[in-house]
Structure 1
Amino acid sequence: MEKPVVFVGVALLLVLPLVNARDEDICRLFSNNTVIRDPDSCSQSITCIDSVSHYSTCSGSTPFFDKDQGKCVKTLTSTSSCSISCEGVATHFLADPKSCYGYYYCSEQETAMYGKCPQDTHFNATTEMCTHQYESACTTSSFEYCNIVKNNVNFDNLQGCNQYHVCEKGVLKDKTCTNQYYQASTGTCVAKALVDCDAHPNADKCGKASKPTVDKFVADDATCRGYFYCAKQADGSPDPNPLWNQCPQDKFFDASSQMCIDPTLVKCTNDRCDGRTAEFVVSATTGCRNYYHCSGGVASEEKSCGNYFFDEQLGSCVQSIKTYTACTK
């Protein structure tokens, strides 16, 4: 038996906001073949394939990428965060409002042609030249997701395994899967076991204000191995950001003993194949006659031994009666 671990030394890492979308490939948020505008450029589009960004650049007489039409266009609406006007600035270079290295050349009053500064340089709007980065005060502009994603496209919300975003009439909306988790690769809500995520919902996991849970481990209610640690708060309120961790391989969390123990001793109805090395494991169905085939840590369809019992140690159906805690009332 193993006692769940409290990682005091990394507590701050776990309660800080999750990684900003800019720090990693943005396509990990989107399903395959989703096309968005590059957050850093008004002239580039991104096609997401297997969570990897593939870039395309608009040029010539259609220098802007329109995220709603999904194609390169001559001009964008004045309400766009990428709106560029060449009126009164013919033969001048203008900065790309979404990029430090991009620029537009207004060859005439109406047409803007896109260009990029060489590597390690930024565009200086004052001198209309590319300069060394260390001489530049430019920082990448912040962006609103609905400025780069068209309406009614689902994408991942990293704040919670069961949460996702969608733009409705240009406004970002938060959505929640019911009893499922959001799968970015398909853009749909699926069984929790199919999603590799540790941002499990923690609302009310540490009790209510009238009766907070203090200095205890509680099940995450999404996996059989996972648990939260509810730390004591100075003001006596429930821990708003309990630390999440999980039991080692082939161990399940048991709330009553506050320990990581043998899975057959734990009544858990979540995916019982998570973290298991056994190919066949007993299900939580009362009677101990049912089992799952495990593949990649995910349970297949539940099977029955009929009039026999399932022996987890042997991984097979046997005549002798089995009374595992996992499958008894």
Structure 2
Amino acid sequence: MGGTLARRTDTVISAINMRICVVAACLLMASQATGYTMDDLCQQWSGYGYIGNPSNCHAWGYCKNQEVVAWGTCPNGLVFNAQAGSCDYANTTVCSTSAVETCSNVKSPMYVANPLNCTEYAYCDGTGQISYGDCGTGGVYSASSTKCIWGPACPQDTICRFMLSNIFVGDPNQCGNYINCVNGYGTSEKCSSTANPYYNKATGNCQSTNPCTGEDSNSGNSDQFTVGQTNATACDEEAFKAADPLTVNGESVDYRYVSDGVTCYGYYYCAAVNATGYWNQCPTGTQFNAGKCVSPASFVCTHNRCGNVNNPFMADEGCKNYTICSSGITGSCPTNAPYYDEVNNICTTKIPDYAICNSTAST
């Protein structure tokens, strides 16, 4: 099922020429390496028009009212150019889903990203041949600059890769943010207005109320505590005795610091057993463990490890996966550098010697 889309110089084709999908199950929504489907793309866009199919660079969809209402395939081997919204010649258009296909068609030497592995890039020699290069440990390829940069985030892994250029869409990884898609690239942004700080993907406007369900941020700094906040039971006998004894200048002191049991970075000052607890937090970049504020990598916190740190990513136990702190989504390093080093913010071939990496919970 579906229609065909001829090569056009204009970016928008009349909806009259499209075959409208009646049964949603008929839509070509197979996910590609990015994990996006055409349905995902349309849900983030308040406008209407053509999008690329993340599973097939020859195929397209049409968004209207945040739904895929039509789909089709370019005729005669043409490749769909998502940024222009039209089918184009394969010898001049990068296939968004296959470096091999791009290199088999282009007539001039060029570098392209490998859609299946962001640490690699492909070189097309212009005669149909392809060779691969690697960005090395911790590096990823940036197609926009044709250079290797530090990872682990992949510049090509954005819905803009399949969207029209010069449009605004919602960020599927952080509700309430927007992305300005330009030439297949874009970064997540917050609305600049203090009065209207939230982006509504359904209207395409910034607004005062949060349109998201649940948290729109995974920062871990939930504002449920304030410095100096009191708790009458935080210093009960069980919690006080479980806390590590403290010494100052080599001498023992009577007070203790007790974890708040909710965050990785908060604790209560307890002057004595059953005293009122006063909440405090570790300096930014550190977390609370055994009565001290220490590096998050030095121990395994069972709460949200993204709290109170400036890192965009934090390793999960075993360091084979990491958490994207802005959204809470789990990511993973490539197979040729499978471990995430959160201190240096790179993917590496050798497992880092941090407590979080040596945890047996994930092995």
State the TM-score bracket (shorter-chain normalisation). 0.3 to 0.5
- Larger of the two Rg values belongs to structure: 1
With structure 2 as the length reference, what TM-score do the two structures score? 0.35
TM-score calculated relative to the size of structure 1: 0.38
